[in-house]
């Protein structure tokens, strides 16, 4: 009987420790979402609102991951899927300008992220660090009850996390994303005139829960945090949507 009681107390202690870990992760994630909540259009919260869908074509040519989008995979006839200009919650195009483009092929989802920026800031460049505190892009892929979040900085650093249905956000999860950057300006130097920065990413489809077959769909949102702008309304993006792989 005493052994059973000790085992029971040990089990309760283990459960309590797990709850503390999960609570800490949830608080961290809640704080993070609070910083980006403004980018979700009001229409995305309406009950029964139909998700917008991006039809992402298979790359018609090769893609060289170098920060530019002048490869045949990006420039071939038909072109990539485009979010168009990121918008504020009111639906007004945000300033400075940002957008995203997507194609897929060779077991990867390729994402091109563009940000006009007169003062490029990056306070954190550690892997899995709080990149959202400075200039960054934030993407969320939702499929089969799981959410996969990927942040990327102007320096090419990545923070990625996986939230399984009903669980905590797991920052030990790795998306396997490859990143190339293109920066027109000097990061963290306000005395000169910056112009823009761009990210070219290759994300393994398997890590997003996709097999790489036409017709597959995943929830998708992407937004940008512009640390140089003082108003929270400058956080803007393309949210509440889906992407579908097509031929």
**What is the Rg, in whole angstroms, of the alpha carbon atoms belonging to the chain?**
20
Lowest mean pLDDT among 32-41, 63-72, 94-103, 168-177: 32-41
Q: What is the DSSP letter of 93?
A: B
pLDDT at 113 over 80: yes
Q: Which fold has domain 2-246?
A: Immunoglobulin-like (2.60.40)
| Mean pLDDT in residue range 130-157 | 95
Give the percent of the chain with pLDDT over 90.
Answer: 63
**Which of 26, 14, 32, 16 shows the shortest CA–CA distance to 167?**
26
pLDDT band at 3 (very low <50, low <70, confident <90, very high): very low
- Global pTM? 0.80
pLDDT, residue 235, reads 77
Averaged pLDDT score across all residues of the chain: 82
Phi then psi for 127, rounded to 5 degrees? -60, 135
Contacts of 161 (CB under 8 A, 6+ apart): 29, 128, 148, 149, 169, 170, 171, 173
Residue 238 near residue 39 (C-beta atoms within 8 A): no
pLDDT, residue 168, reads 87
pLDDT band at 232 (very low <50, low <70, confident <90, very high): very low
pLDDT band at 190 (very low <50, low <70, confident <90, very high): confident
pLDDT at 177 over 80: yes
pLDDT band at 106 (very low <50, low <70, confident <90, very high): very high
pLDDT band at 142 (very low <50, low <70, confident <90, very high): very high
pLDDT at 17 over 50: no
């Amino acid at each position: 009987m005493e052994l059973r009681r000790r085992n029971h107390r040990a089990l309760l202690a283990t459960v309590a420790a797990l709850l503390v870990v999960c609570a800490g992760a949830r608080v961290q994630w809640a704080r993070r979402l609070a910083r980006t909540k403004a980018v979700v259009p009001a229409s995305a919260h309406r009950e029964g609102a139909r998700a917008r869908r991006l039809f992402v074509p298979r790359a018609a040519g090769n893609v060289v991951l170098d920060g530019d989008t002048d490869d045949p995979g990006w420039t071939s006839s038909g072109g990539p899927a485009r979010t168009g200009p990121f918008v504020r919650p009111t639906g007004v195009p945000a300033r400075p300008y940002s957008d995203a483009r997507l194609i897929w092929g060779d077991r990867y989802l390729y994402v091109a992220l563009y940000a006009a920026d007169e003062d490029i800031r990056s306070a954190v460049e550690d892997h899995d660090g709080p990149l959202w505190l400075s200039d960054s892009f934030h993407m969320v892929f939702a499929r089969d009850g799981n959410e996969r979040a990927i942040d990327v900085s102007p320096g090419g650093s990545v923070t990625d996390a996986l939230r399984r249905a009903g669980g905590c956000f797991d920052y030990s999860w790795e998306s396997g994303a490859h990143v190339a950057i293109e920066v027109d300006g000097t990061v963290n130097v306000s005395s000169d005139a910056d112009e823009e920065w761009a990210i070219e990413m290759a994300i393994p489809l398997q890590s997003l829960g996709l097999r790489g077959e036409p017709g597959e769909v995943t929830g998708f949102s992407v937004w940008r945090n512009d640390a140089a702008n003082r108003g929270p309304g400058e956080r803007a993006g393309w949210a509440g949507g889906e992407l579908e792989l097509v031929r």
